[in-house]
């Protein structure tokens, strides 16, 4: 069976299932959207503004939904309202259902030829600063009628958005031992999640370019270290990132036999480098973060033994809609520029020059 006929069959099957559910429950989709908006925005007024409804209309829909379900969904809380436990449960399930309905509508429009396609992509910050703009530009040049929407999200939230149908593709990352990236690239699909590894990038130790208390943390000639070498920095303060990055930092330091003294936590890689440049700590950052923004006051040393994979994931059974296939193609094409030498650690001479320049600047400032 041709792929587009298989896709239509899947959409027809989904439509039949949805129709069956709603004919049995008699839940109105519009009212479910109102409940989700109230849960998301925290008040009737904010939900009305988000939906472009009149406030009495939102209250009416909530009252009708309570009548349909025979359950108290909202209750008074001061001058406003809040969801009951039953209301929160229904709102969570409704968000998933509405997301899948929206995704089905978009896919049906693509297969029916009503429009070239609407695409929704969730990605983590360093991908949004490197891979995604290049891919988006290529997509626009090749297919200007495709409507691409971008959302910033760390991997756990991106996966939740994908499962709920709010995005069509999620870019996530994971840290892996060096040498496992080839196996990761051929990773099998996991249930309803399908993966495609786009790239595997190095991880770098980030430290001040200027010597700390008159001595560099590592000799200027050092351009690479192993996890065990991190023990030489066990007395330093460390800067941790998002939950997934923090776990990776803790694993690498544990392999070196110490627990890092984490002084700052931020998932903003620009802020991480600024803190390091100010002499307030050291950190681990992947290549894409350095490609997206590079602070002149930091020195980078590659950390051997570990890498970070960037993975594009989709939800549901194949085949992908044509617009999603296009997005995956341009994401793969954008990998080359993202892995250019600018993303790698500087050479020993460059690091030494940066360190000397920073020292001279500091001396001039004191004078």
- Percentage of the chain beyond pLDDT 70 is 78
148 falls within a domain: no
The CA distance from 229 to 257, in Å, is 10
**pLDDT at position 269, please?**
95
List the CATH number of the domain containing 282: 3.40.190.10
Q: What is the pLDDT of residues 46-105, one digit of tens each?
A: 888 888 788 888 888 888 888 888 888 988 877 778 889 888 888 888 888 887 777 776
DSSP state of 230: G
C-alpha 357 chain-centroid distance: 36
**pLDDT at position 357, please?**
38
**pLDDT at position 207, please?**
95
**pLDDT at position 44, please?**
87
C-alpha 140 chain-centroid distance: 22
Enclosing H/E stretch for 182: helix 181-185
313 falls within a domain: no
Give the tokens for residue 228. Answer: 């065990």
Q: What is the pLDDT of residues 97-108, one digit of tens each?
A: 887 777 776 666
pLDDT category at 366 given cuts 50, 70, 90 is: very low
Note whether 216 and 361 are same-domain residues.
yes
For the question of whether the overall pTM of this predicted structure is more than 0.75, the answer is: no
- Kindly give, in sequence order, each residue whose CB lies less than 8 Å from that of residue 60, ignoring residues fewer than 6 positions away: none
Higher-scoring residue by pLDDT: 359, 313: 313
The CA distance from 288 to 339, in Å, is 8
pLDDT category at 191 given cuts 50, 70, 90 is: low
Whether pLDDT at 363 is above 50: no
Q: Where are the beta strands (DSSP E) in 249-297?
A: 261-265, 282-286
Note whether 244 and 355 are same-domain residues.
yes
259 falls within a domain: yes
- Percentage of the chain beyond pLDDT 90 is 44
C-alpha 331 chain-centroid distance: 15
Note whether 248 and 357 are same-domain residues.
yes
Note whether 75 and 210 are same-domain residues.
no
Whether pLDDT at 25 is above 90: no
Note whether 358 and 232 are same-domain residues.
yes
318 falls within a domain: no
- Average pLDDT of span 135-146: 89
Most confident by average pLDDT, 2-6, 22-26, 213-217 = 213-217
List the CATH number of the domain containing 53: 1.10.10.10
Residue 147 CB neighbours (<10 A):
13
328 falls within a domain: no
Q: What is the number of structural domains in the chain?
A: 2
Q: Half-sphere exposure (CA, 13 Å, Cβ side) for 204?
A: 26
Whether pLDDT at 144 is above 90: no
Whether pLDDT at 346 is above 90: no
142 falls within a domain: no
Whether pLDDT at 112 is above 80: no
48 falls within a domain: yes
pLDDT category at 143 given cuts 50, 70, 90 is: confident
User: In 3D, which of 312, 322, 314, 315 has the Cα closest to residue 107?
Assistant: 322
Whether 152 and 160 have beta carbons less than 8 Å apart is answered as no
Mean pLDDT of the chain: 80
**pLDDT at position 107, please?**
63
Which residue pairs, CB below 8 angstroms and at least 24 apart, start in 75-83? Answer: 80/42, 80/43, 80/44, 81/38, 81/43, 81/44, 83/35, 83/38, 83/39
Note whether 96 and 211 are same-domain residues.
no
43 falls within a domain: yes
Q: Which of 114, 142, 176 is the last residue of a domain?
A: 114
As beta bridge partners, residue 206 has: 283, 300
Residue 296 CB neighbours (<10 A):
11
Query: Quick check: bond before 319 cis, omega within 30?
Result: yes
**pLDDT at position 46, please?**
86
The CA distance from 91 to 178, in Å, is 42
Q: Which of 68, 96, 114 is the last residue of a domain?
A: 114
User: In 3D, which of 285, 294, 334 has the Cα closest to residue 175?
Assistant: 285
pLDDT category at 244 given cuts 50, 70, 90 is: very high
Burial (CB count <10 Å: 0-12, 13-18, 19+), residue 78: exposed
Domain that holds residue 288: 200-306+338-366
pLDDT category at 184 given cuts 50, 70, 90 is: very low
Q: Which of 74, 90, 114 is the last residue of a domain?
A: 114
């Amino acid at each position: 069976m041709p792929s587009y006929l298989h896709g239509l069959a899947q959409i027809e099957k989904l439509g039949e299932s949805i129709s069956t559910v709603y004919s049995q429950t008699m839940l109105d989709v519009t009212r479910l959207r109102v409940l989700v908006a109230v849960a998301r925005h925290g008040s009737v007024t904010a939900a009305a503004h988000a939906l472009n409804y009149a406030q009495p209309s939102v209250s009416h829909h909530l009252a009708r939904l309570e009548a349909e379900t025979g359950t108290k969904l909202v209750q008074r809380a001061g001058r406003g309202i809040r969801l009951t436990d039953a209301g929160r449960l229904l709102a969570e399930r409704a968000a998933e259902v509405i997301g899948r309905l929206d995704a089905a509508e978009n896919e049906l429009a693509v297969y029916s030829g009503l429009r070239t396609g609407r695409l929704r992509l969730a990605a983590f910050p360093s991908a949004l600063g490197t891979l995604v703009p290049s891919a988006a530009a290529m997509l626009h040049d090749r297919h200007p009628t495709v409507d691409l929407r971008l959302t910033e999200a760390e991997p756990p939230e991106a996966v939740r958005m994908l499962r709920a149908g709010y995005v069509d593709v999620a870019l996530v990352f994971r840290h892996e031992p060096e040498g496992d990236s080839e196996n990761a690239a051929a990773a099998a699909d996991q249930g309803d999640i399908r993966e495609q590894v786009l790239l595997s990038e190095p991880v770098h130790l980030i430290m001040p370019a200027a010597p700390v208390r008159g001595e560099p943390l590592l000799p200027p000639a050092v351009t690479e270290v192993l996890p065990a070498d991190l023990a030489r920095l066990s007395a330093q303060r460390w800067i941790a990132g998002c939950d997934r990055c923090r776990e990776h930092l803790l694993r690498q330091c544990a392999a070196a036999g110490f627990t890092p003294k984490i002084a700052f936590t931020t998932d903003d890689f620009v802020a991480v480098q600024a803190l390091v440049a100010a002499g307030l700590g050291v950190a681990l950052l992947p290549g894409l973060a350095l490609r997206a923004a590079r602070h002149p006051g930091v020195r980078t040393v590659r950390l051997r033994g570990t890498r970070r994979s960037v993975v594009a994931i989709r939800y549901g059974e194949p085949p992908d809609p044509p617009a999603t296939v296009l997005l995956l193609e341009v994401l793969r094409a954008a990998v080359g520029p993202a892995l250019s030498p600018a993303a790698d650690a500087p050479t020993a001479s460059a690091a030494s020059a940066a360190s000397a320049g920073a020292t001279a600047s500091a001396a001039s400032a004191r004078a």
